[in-house]
Structure 1
Amino acid sequence: MGWRGMLGFDYGIVQAPLGPDISGPELVAAVANAGALGLLRAPDWEAPDHVRELIMKTRSLTDKPFGIGVVLAFPHKENLRVILDEQVAVLQLYWGECTEEIVNEAHKAGVKVVPQVGSIEEVKKATDAGADAIILQGREAGGHVISQESMISLVPRAIDIVQGRNIPIIAAGGIVDERGYVSALALGAQGIALGTRFLATDESYAHPTYKRKLIEYSTTEYTDVFGRARWPGAPHRVLKTPFFMDWRNLPSDVNEAAQPIIGHATIHGVDKEIRRFAGTVPNATATGDLESMVMYAGEGVGLIKEILPADEVVRRLVEGARRMIHERLTDDSSV
């Protein structure tokens, strides 16, 4: 079923590192225990002690390997030091260059490096840097989107680049069910990464209102309305909530910096104000005007009909893909 056996994972399924703290220890452990790769999300600021706590709590909930995602656009050197010191199985990197230096340091610590990229040029750079696998994100993805092309056009070209290099390509962007899984495998990917589908699980740290909106709304839009001051030049895909639709044409010179405070949340143990147009999704602690907060989601959100336990998401993906391959794609004459 793709990526089978790498690092001991049973299935080629990766739970994306959902920010800012939506993929916490409970979700990551549940995914790991189900045989897939769960990824914590490191804070977007230096917090080495908290990173260590996240790792230790996750280890108290599972004896399986897991990983942690780091956004290179934010301060991260001290966080990275702890991750390597703790020898977490997988270091996932995003929104920044996966350098040979980072890869070599991680390999010395026994840590695999899996960058997430959004272009063929970035695939080439990650390959040359010695990445152990590459998550290739299409424009269909939710949250911050680094790609300008669709997954269906990117994956086959990436496969040609890494051919013979033993570097798995993991497809990401709009995948929520077994049909997306099989489609990615047909393109040549050896695994899939899912964000929105794992966001809509019992164990995710998203606010119940956010989870409910994932069921309620079925369409998304690629935009740059949210978080312009904090993370400039970082477009994203969001649910078409009434608030977003009212402000989708926000003038380009307006950002969240001078906007009113619409809520509060405790994020990675730190109390934070949430301003209008901030790029901060409502986690389980969020209070205030939740309806006006950003709600990231990928294009496949319309296929999500219920909130499920994370292990059930993995089970349905695996069993559904196996059934689909056997019933629809297997040549009966060769069975």
Structure 2
Amino acid sequence: MGWRGILGLEYGVVQGPLGPDISGPELVAAVSNAGGLGLLRAPDWESPDHVRELIRKTRTLTNKPFGVGVVLAFPHKENLKAILDEKVAFLQLSWGECPEELVLEAHRAGVKVVPQVGSLEEAEKAAHVGVDAIIVQGLEAGGHVLGQAGLVSLLPAVVDLVGGKDIPVIAAGGIADERGYVAALALGAQGVCLGTRFVATEESYAHPAYKRKLVELGKTEYTDVFGRARWPGAPQRVLKIPFFMDWRTLPNHENETNQPVIGRTTIHGMEKEIRRFAGTVPNVTTTGDIESMAMYAGQGVGLINEILPAGEVIRRLVEGAQLLIHQQFSAEKS
């Protein structure tokens, strides 16, 4: 059954690499210890020593497989080298083409490569270079969204495309509970990747106010208001917090560069100012006008009603999916 056996893991549950540093060692270790795949997020700048530090700290908290997510749109060459030198179990890639040379280099280091794609074309290229699994992200996903297709149409198309190639397909976008898990399995996925649900956990590095909003609010919007200068051409799905609703029609020529500083934060060991519309989500170190900062969330956020330990999220997903399949879809059902 789809909740077991994927990539040698106990369960087919992947925790998305939550940027910029929301999925730190504590969350990643908790997910991996519970039988899922925890993914750290590499910095969006070259910082190989910090990457090594993150990996080594995570190893003090778990002896299970975990990985690191790298956004290829940002400087990453030295970070990648550190990740492969450390021989983590998985390298997760997004926002860029996965070169065959990198896949071969990773495999020589014993590292599995798992790109995230948002289109059939990206999936075809990834399958061609010999990746170990593919995460298919639908438009329902929170944060920066790769493609324009919904998961229900894109996922089975990718499954059909890679059929027979022994490449597990993992579904991402709007999945927050066991019903989404079972739906993804029905569409051909062998696992699921959750982001927003893991932001709203006890171990996540998100600011408490951000976590509270994920529980309190249930609606999102696809927008490009945040981070236009820093990351152009990377629209995002955000919570409909009051600040965003006031500014959602921000003129296209406006961006964060000429905006006031609304807070400060420390990300991956670097102190940073946060300007209005910067797109920096608040972590636990963030101070200032938290309510006016970006809060990314997928469309499944309305199903999140409480902050849970990450291990409990995985337990409910797996046991709930097993029960749902047995009770609702089993051939033995009378």
TM-score range, shorter chain: over 0.9
Match of 1:19 in 2: 19
What is the count of residue pairs matched by the alignment?
Answer: 334
Structure 2 residue matching 1:281: 3-state secondary structure: coil
Contact kept in structure 2, 1:172 and 1:193, CA below 8 Å: yes
- 2: CA distance between counterparts of 1:130 and 1:238? 33
TM-score, normalising length: structure 1: 0.99
Match of 1:4 in 2: 4
- 2: CA distance between counterparts of 1:111 and 1:27? 21
Structure 2 residue matching 1:264: 3-state secondary structure: strand
Instruction: Report the alpha carbon displacement of residue 333 of structure 1 after superposing the two structures with TM.
Output: 6.3
Match of 1:164 in 2: 164
Structure 2 residue matching 1:107: 3-state secondary structure: helix
Instruction: Report the alpha carbon displacement of residue 129 of structure 1 after superposing the two structures with TM.
Output: 1.0
Match of 1:283 in 2: 283
Match of 1:64 in 2: 64
- 2: CA distance between counterparts of 1:333 and 1:52? 51
Q: Deviations over 1:153-208 (max 9, x none)?
A: 00111111111100011000000000000000000000000000000000000000
AA of the residue aligned to 1:319: E
Instruction: Report the alpha carbon displacement of residue 6 of structure 1 after superposing the two structures with TM.
Output: 3.9
Contact kept in structure 2, 1:222 and 1:236, CA below 8 Å: yes
Match of 1:274 in 2: 274
Match of 2:326 in 1: 326
AA of the residue aligned to 1:46: E
Aligned pairs (5 A) from 1:1-335:
1-2=1-2, 4-332=4-332
Instruction: Report the alpha carbon displacement of residue 101 of structure 1 after superposing the two structures with TM.
Output: 1.1
AA of the residue aligned to 2:56: M
Which residues of structure 2 form unaligned runs of 5+? none
- 2: CA distance between counterparts of 1:48 and 1:203? 24
Contact kept in structure 2, 1:11 and 1:35, CA below 8 Å: yes
- 1: CA distance between counterparts of 2:3 and 2:255? 41
- 2: CA distance between counterparts of 1:129 and 1:269? 35
Structure 2 residue matching 1:257: 3-state secondary structure: helix
AA of the residue aligned to 2:192: I
AA of the residue aligned to 2:158: A
Contact kept in structure 1, 2:6 and 2:190, CA below 8 Å: no
Contact kept in structure 1, 2:32 and 2:62, CA below 8 Å: yes
Structure 1 residue matching 2:257: 3-state secondary structure: coil
Structure 1 residue matching 2:10: 3-state secondary structure: coil
Contact kept in structure 2, 1:7 and 1:65, CA below 8 Å: no
AA of the residue aligned to 1:194: L
Contact kept in structure 2, 1:168 and 1:190, CA below 8 Å: yes
CA gap of 1:333–1:284, structure 2 versus 1, over 3 A, is closer
Q: Deviations over 1:17-40 (max 9, x none)?
A: 000000000000000000000000
Contact kept in structure 2, 1:20 and 1:44, CA below 8 Å: yes
- 1: CA distance between counterparts of 2:208 and 2:149? 32
- 1: CA distance between counterparts of 2:322 and 2:163? 25
Instruction: Report the alpha carbon displacement of residue 332 of structure 1 after superposing the two structures with TM.
Output: 1.8
AA of the residue aligned to 1:195: G
Instruction: Report the alpha carbon displacement of residue 147 of structure 1 after superposing the two structures with TM.
Output: 1.2
- 2: CA distance between counterparts of 1:4 and 1:202? 25
Contact kept in structure 2, 1:3 and 1:168, CA below 8 Å: no
- 2: CA distance between counterparts of 1:219 and 1:112? 35
Structure 1 residue matching 2:296: 3-state secondary structure: coil
Percent of matched pairs sharing the same residue: 74
AA of the residue aligned to 2:239: L
CA gap of 1:184–1:7, structure 2 versus 1, over 3 A, is closer
Contact kept in structure 1, 2:3 and 2:318, CA below 8 Å: no
Instruction: Report the alpha carbon displacement of residue 102 of structure 1 after superposing the two structures with TM.
Output: 1.0
Instruction: Report the alpha carbon displacement of residue 7 of structure 1 after superposing the two structures with TM.
Output: 4.1
TM-score, normalising length: structure 2: 0.99
- 2: CA distance between counterparts of 1:266 and 1:95? 24
